[in-house]
Amino acid sequence: MTIKTGDRLPRTNFVTPGESGLEQVDSDEFFKGRKVALFSVPGAFTPTCSARHLPGYVDKAAELKAKGVDEIACTAVNDAFVLGAWSKSADADGKVTMLADGNGAFAKAIGLEMDGSKFGLGTRGQRYSMIVDDGVVTSLNVEEGGDFKVSSAEHMLDQL
């Protein structure tokens, strides 16, 4: 079943690169009591993700927060070491929290996984964005195919 607006996010775990190493992040705790702008990319360091998707959220972080977003987070079916390196290379530290979904458990739990096998990528998360308010999805934007339109920071700003 694919998640939809009005649904509560299922409980899963993410891993994030922390100051003292890798840290487990319980999704219920992460989203509890705040508004989070969450976006998903098929993979760190991939062309569209690196050139447009993550940089858009880095550039628009202050505007998103001015519109009531408490935290901006990026998830990908990559390990936390890769997401940590990508965050540093994109100057995203302190602006976007990286939530590694290394085994794809979150992508599967919300029904937004994709098969990238024909490109040698295996199972990944689709490209999307959502607003999550206290664990409930209040806005969901899933891209079609290889598009990059509705999951952008600009589109999310228009929705807020």
Q: Which listed residue (37, 41, 44, 49) is catalytic?
A: 49
The DSSP-derived string for the chain is ----TTPBPPP-EEEEEETTEEEEEEHHHHHTTSEEEEEE-S-TT-HHIIIIIHHHHHHTHHHHHHTT-SEEEEEESS-HHHHHHHHHHTT-TTTSEEEE-TT-HHHHHTT-EEE-GGGT--EEEPPEEEEEETTEEEEEEE--TT--STTSHHHHHHH-
Reply yes or no on whether 49 is catalytic: yes
Residues with a catalytic annotation lie at: 49
